Amino acid sequence: MTERLKGKTALVLGAGCVGEGWGNGNATAVTFAREGANVVCADINEGSAAQTAELVRREGGKAVHVRADVASLEQLEHAAAVALEAYGRIDVLHNNAGISVRGGTLDSSEESWDRVYAVNARGAFLACKAVIPHMQRQGGGSIIHVSSIAAVGWTGHALLSYQSSKAALNQLTRMVAVQHAAEGIRCNCIMPGLIDSPRIYQTILPVFGGDVERMRASRSQAVPMKRMGEAWDIANAALFFAADESKYVTGVVMAVDGGITCSLPH
């Protein structure tokens, strides 16, 4: 352990995991804690947030949990207040919360479109709105959003609201970065590629008729590296953006995808 985040407090939104194992949220929360950060684990599923906080504490780290729906400014402000009460500051805002609903132009409902945007795009805006004033008073901080390679190209599935909302998140990242750069507040974004996490077994596996090996083989074949990534790959990218090594990096949208975006048509 190098303690690259010693003395820092990280508020991780979407810190839970939809199933057993390591997803982007809980892996990032644990990675931050392993590097010395105090971690506030927030998730719409409070039980899942509590499980992540417990994982941190089992390793000797410091963590508390809170329920928060990122579509609610009130709940995000409460999560920020919990962080301040527990640790006195918020140095890192990590926005991992996101949802997807299958559907294209004609078969997506207005209701599903609005909910996906409320979480993926509006939720990130509200999180910034809730946390940036505290970072301004501190003299700086790091905001990290989690987007998707679906924001920049077709990935074989009709997920129009997800794809377009993640594209909006990429641009939100850049504009927040520029607006708050002089205040010492950085904002960067990670675009995960095909990650072997518990979520895909709920959202993607049905497309393959429940055939796990066929799903894994198909997704691995689509990657230039010929393998899916792990949640730890996303967590390590987040660690770079959270740590002082990236103190001159802002407005970056970084693919962590084994080279997929390099091979997409331009």
Per-residue pLDDT of 156-193, as tens digits, reads: 788 999 999 999 999 999 999 999 999 999 999 999 99
Q: What's the average model confidence in pLDDT over 143-167?
A: 92
Number of Cβ within a 10 Å radius of residue 102 = 17
Pick the CATH number of 9-193+232-256 from 3.40.50.720, 3.10.20.30, 3.30.450.20, 3.30.750.210: 3.40.50.720
Check whether 264 has a pLDDT greater than 80. Answer: no
Rounded to whole angstroms, the Cα distance separating 15 from 40 reads 9
Active site residue 162: yes
Smallest CA-to-CA distance from 129 within 180, 188, 64 is with 180
Smallest CA-to-CA distance from 65 within 33, 35, 91 is with 33
Distances (CA, A) of 14 to 41, 79, 87, 227, 263: 8, 12, 19, 25, 30
Smallest CA-to-CA distance from 174 within 249, 94, 98, 252 is with 252
In the DSSP assignment, the letter for residue 201 is H
Check whether 266 has a pLDDT greater than 80. Answer: no
CB 257 within 8 A of CB 193: yes
Residue 76: Cβ-neighbour burial (10 angstroms; 0-12, 13-18, 19+): buried
- Identify the active-site residue in 87, 117, 162, 201: 162
Range list for CATH 3.40.50.720 in the chain = 9-193+232-256
pLDDT of residue 13: 98
Smallest CA-to-CA distance from 112 within 155, 161, 73, 157 is with 161
pLDDT of residue 156: 76
CB 229 within 8 A of CB 196: yes
> pLDDT of 13-63, one tens digit each?
999 998 889 999 999 999 999 999 999 999 999 999 999 999 999 999 999
In the DSSP assignment, the letter for residue 100 is -
Rounded to whole angstroms, the Cα distance separating 36 from 184 reads 21
